[in-house]
Copies of this chain bind each other. A is one copy, B any other.
């Protein structure tokens, strides 16, 4: 089954890339934005039919490789 992981910077970590995107959007006329933060997204197809086991595997991947837990948070989502 497919499981998705969303990795975002922690709230207190500066996100210069998001800031630049916000400025670009602002320059294009989207002036009603107070913040843009960029993150990473992974869609992982695990050979495992039990949703909770598949999620546990992806959580383990995030902890060991995908996310830097010092500055990032991660969220696991089941994908249809």
Contact = CB atoms under 8 A, between A and B. Distances in A.
Given A65-B25, A65-B28, A33 B8 contact: no
Number of copies: 2
Nearest to A2: B35
A78 interface: no
Interface size class of A (residues with CB under 8 A): 20 to 34
A24 B77 CA distance: 22
A52 interface: no
Interface string A23-34: 011001010111
A12 B32 CA distance: 35
A7 B21 CA distance: 15
Given A61-B25, A65-B24, A44 B35 contact: yes
